[in-house]
């Protein structure tokens, strides 16, 4: 009976509910039609041109083994701004002075973040560093510490002794090889000197070991770090396949992180023990001591251990491979051209003479050497791309829509080889810099970008340039350089590898012939 009485009400409500449903559907259809009409006839968001990609992987497979070269070819086809989809990551690549100035200067505030990557989580201590950290208070805080406490002109001056001693060791080792008539592996020389200089500046000594263990080879750790940082890890582009770790990168990242932890935990503990007097020897004058000394609030530590370790890794990675790769390219070009080598040696001899060694104070007196270094930055940049950036808001670049969260790559390699900017771009011609302001680290016309620009500019440009100039000046002053028999200027392999840094594909090997009195080679 009750059911019969309720029936009209149920029917009414059902009709009423149906009306709501019909109304909702109508609104949705209308909205959808409106969106479609708008997309068809309304103002369209114009994205930069670029190649069509495949489903899921997008343009990843078009990157090949040397993405900077693949991109340079794409710039020729599509223009100075190219849009790609790397897996699911919208990416924009730029390579002209005007666009790079727009990204790093005019719109720096929009383009200054870094993308989130697996490497950042695992190796960079969950973005506790600052090179890979997203733009924000943590990045600002840590960067300020590095610029104001670690890389100040005063602190750099106070560590000149370490750099001088290490370059003397380098000269001693090369001289030994020369006496034995051995061919010198230049990559080992440059990697060795940049690593020992940075180990001493940062950690207070040349190598480190946890108690009772063999010293870890930092060189190997940094090479591994660069390999993994530059790798195109599938998880970052196609997250749904990430768990498979098909390339084995994540396995290697965890291994690397454990090795780094082992070394740096021992370093920090040793510094604490030295500072508290638990261990004899006194407090070292190095960057770790500075970081440990920073005052925190209410007696707390200023920086957590993970942040300190992340900063040390940033500085070590930022300083070592970049300067070693620059030196190897510069030396390859110098040995290929006896004229350039002679001109450099004359310049150094004129300032220093042959009765003493080059010091760090001399390097500002070598304008032609600076031209050689600038030309190396142009033709053989240490890294083919600047560290990737990410947009923090929707914006417009060259009239194209760039949404928030787009990855932005600056193709430094292609910038330096553009025929629109450079005459005979593939020719190594240091003289092209002779009438330029050589003391300016940054090129105001954005024709080269060795250290980036803007908020994310390299904080170590002074130290990096000094290390490169001093190493080259010492090697050229102390030795005459030739290729081993069978190698000529034309046969030398001048192709590069791809990675975060881009060294010569084949290690540079050379013969050193001493040109100073024997006592100047003593270590």
The token pair that represents 456 in the structure block: 């994310």
Distance (Å, rounded) from C-alpha 18 to C-alpha 178?
93
**Closer by beta carbon to ligand HEM, 192 or else 318:** 318
Distance (Å, rounded) from C-alpha 158 to C-alpha 166?
15
φ/ψ of residue 227, rounded to 5: -60, -45
CB 225 within 8 A of CB 317: yes
**Closer by beta carbon to ligand HEM, 143 or else 474:** 143
CB of 285 to ligand HEM, least distance (A): 16
**Closer by beta carbon to ligand HEM, 19 or else 148:** 148
CB 520 within 8 A of CB 492: no
User: Three-class SS of residue 136?
Assistant: coil
Residue corresponding to tokens 């600076």: 370
Of the candidate spans 27-35, 213-221, 397-405, 457-465, the one that interacts with ligand HEM by CB under 6 A turns out to be 457-465
- Residue in 82, 184, 225, 463 binding ligand HEM, rule: CB under 6 A: 463
Site track for ligand HEM across 131-170, x = CB under 6 A: x-----------x---------------------------
Give how many residues touch ligand HEM by CB under 6 A. Answer: 25
Binding residues for heme: 458
- Within positions 301 to 360, which residues make up the interface with ligand HEM, using CB under 6 A? 314-315, 318-319, 322-323, 326
**Closer by beta carbon to ligand HEM, 86 or else 458:** 458
**Closer by beta carbon to ligand HEM, 97 or else 452:** 452
Site track for ligand HEM across 43-72, x = CB under 6 A: ------------------------------
Q: Classify the C-alpha dihedral 39-40-42-48 as positive or negative.
A: positive
CB 112 within 8 A of CB 388: no
Integer angstrom CA distances of residue 360 from 161, 177, 279: 9, 24, 33
- Within positions 366 to 395, which residues make up the interface with ligand HEM, using CB under 6 A? 382-383, 386-387
If one asks whether residue 450 binds ligand HEM (CB under 6 A), the answer comes out as yes
The token pair that represents 169 in the structure block: 């060791």
CB of 315 to ligand HEM, least distance (A): 4
For residue 360, the tally of other CB atoms under 10 A from its CB is: 19
- Within positions 89 to 128, which residues make up the interface with ligand HEM, using CB under 6 A? none
- Residue in 85, 219, 456, 474 binding ligand HEM, rule: CB under 6 A: 456
Residue corresponding to tokens 């940033």: 314
CB of 322 to ligand HEM, least distance (A): 4
Of the candidate spans 42-50, 253-261, 343-351, 462-470, the one that interacts with ligand HEM by CB under 6 A turns out to be 462-470
Beta-bridge mates of residue 109: none
CB of 156 to ligand HEM, least distance (A): 10
Of the candidate spans 158-166, 185-193, 358-366, 461-469, the one that interacts with ligand HEM by CB under 6 A turns out to be 461-469
* Helix (H), strand (E) at residue 476: helix 461-478
CB of 346 to ligand HEM, least distance (A): 25
CB of 314 to ligand HEM, least distance (A): 4
If one asks whether residue 464 binds ligand HEM (CB under 6 A), the answer comes out as yes
User: Three-class SS of residue 11?
Assistant: helix
CB of 450 to ligand HEM, least distance (A): 5
**Closer by beta carbon to ligand HEM, 238 or else 468:** 468
Give the distance from CA 117 to its chain's centroid.
Answer: 15
φ/ψ of residue 409, rounded to 5: -110, 135
CB of 386 to ligand HEM, least distance (A): 4
For residue 29, the tally of other CB atoms under 10 A from its CB is: 10
Q: How far apart are the first and last CA of the chain?
A: 110
CB of 449 to ligand HEM, least distance (A): 7
Binding residues: 458
Instruction: Label each residue of 144-210 as H, E or C.
Output: HHHHHHHCCHHHHHHCHHHHHHHHHHHHHHHHHHHHCCCCEEHHHHHHHHHHHHHHHHHHCCCCECC
Integer angstrom CA distances of residue 331 from 141, 208, 209: 38, 30, 33
Q: Which residues of the chain form contacts with ligand HEM (CB under 6 A)? A: 130-131, 143, 314-315, 318-319, 322-323, 326, 382-383, 386-387, 450-452, 456-460, 463-464, 468
């Amino acid at each position: 009976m009750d059911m019969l009485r309720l029936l009209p009400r149920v029917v009414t409500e059902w009709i009423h509910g149906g009306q709501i449903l019909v109304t909702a559907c109508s609104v949705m259809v209308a909205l959808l039609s409106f969106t479609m009409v708008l997309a068809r006839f309304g103002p369209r968001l114009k994205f930069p041109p670029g190649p069509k990609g495949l489903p899921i992987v997008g343009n990843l497979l078009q990157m090949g083994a040397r993405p900077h070269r693949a991109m340079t070819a794409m710039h020729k086809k599509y223009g100075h701004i190219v849009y790609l989809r790397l897996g699911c990551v919208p990416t924009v690549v730029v390579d002209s002075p005007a666009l790079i100035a727009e990204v790093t200067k005019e719109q720096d505030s929009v383009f200054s973040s870094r993308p989130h990557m697996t490497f950042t989580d695992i190796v960079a201590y969950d973005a506790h560093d600052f090179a890979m950290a997203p733009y924000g208070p943590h990045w600002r805080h840590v960067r300020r510490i590095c610029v104001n406490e670690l890389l100040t002109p005063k602190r750099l001056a106070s560590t000149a002794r370490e750099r001088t001693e290490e370059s003397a060791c380098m000269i001693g080792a090369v001289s030994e090889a020369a006496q034995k008539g051995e061919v010198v592996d230049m990559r080992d020389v440059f990697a060795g000197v940049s690593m020992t200089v940075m180990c001493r500046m940062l950690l207070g000594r040349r190598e480190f070991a946890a108690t009772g263990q063999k010293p870890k080879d930092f060189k190997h750790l940094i090479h591994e770090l660069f390999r993994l940082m530059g790798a195109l890890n599938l998880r970052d582009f196609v997250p749904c396949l990430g768990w498979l770790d098909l390339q084995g990168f994540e396995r290697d990242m965890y291994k690397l992180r454990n090795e780094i932890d082992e070394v740096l935990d021992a370093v920090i503990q040793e510094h604490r023990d030295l500072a508290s007097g638990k261990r004899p020897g006194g407090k070292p004058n190095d960057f770790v001591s500075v970081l440990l000394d920073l005052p925190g609030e209410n007696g707390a530590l200023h920086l957590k251990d993970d942040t300190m370790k992340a900063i040390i890794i940033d500085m070590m990675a930022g300083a070592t491979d970049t300067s070693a790769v620059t030196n190897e390219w510069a030396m390859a070009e110098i040995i290929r051209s006896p004229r350039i080598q002679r001109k450099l040696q004359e310049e150094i001899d004129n300032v220093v003479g042959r009765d003493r060694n080059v010091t760090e104070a001399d390097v500002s007196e070598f304008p032609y050497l600076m031209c050689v270094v600038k030309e190396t930055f142009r033709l053989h940049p240490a890294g083919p791309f600047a560290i990737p950036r990410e947009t923090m808001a929707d914006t417009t670049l060259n009239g194209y829509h760039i949404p928030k969260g787009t990855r932005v790559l600056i193709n430094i390699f292609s910038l330096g080889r553009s025929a629109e900017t450079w005459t005979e771009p593939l020719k190594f011609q240091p003289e092209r810099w002779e009438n330029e302001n050589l003391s300016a680290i940054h090129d105001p016309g954005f024709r080269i970008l060795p250290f980036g620009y803007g908020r994310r500019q390299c904080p170590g440009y002074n130290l990096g340039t000094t290390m490169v100039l001093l190493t080259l000046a010492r090697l050229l002053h102390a030795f005459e350089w030739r290729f081993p028999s069978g190698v000529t200027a034309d046969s030398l392999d001048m192709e590069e590898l791809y990675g975060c840094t881009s060294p010569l594909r084949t290690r540079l090997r050379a013969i050193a012939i001493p040109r100073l009195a024997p006592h100047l080679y003593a270590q």
